[in-house]
Amino acid sequence: MVQVLKTAFPSVQHLCCMLHCKDNVCQHLTDVGVPIEYRQHVLNLLSGNDGATSSADEATLDDR
């Protein structure tokens, strides 16, 4: 799948699955002992309704 996306979008520097990124962030926060309420807050900032993954453009992404 990643290879297909690289072919379809050759100018993109890095392709990743946001589900896997979210899982990786959650696992790291768990591993370092962050309490669940803080983990949920961080994950909401990443993938909530107004999270980084729902940014419509690069400027909004940078702000979030």
Q: What residue ranges do the domains of the chain occupy? A: 17-53+60-64
Gap between the Cα atoms of 11 and 64, Å rounded: 23
Tell which residue, 41, 39, 40, 48, has the closest CA to residue 18.
Answer: 48
pTM for the whole thing?
0.62
Q: For residue 13, is pLDDT > 90? A: no
Percentage with pLDDT > 70 across the chain = 92
Check residue 20 and give its pLDDT. Answer: 82
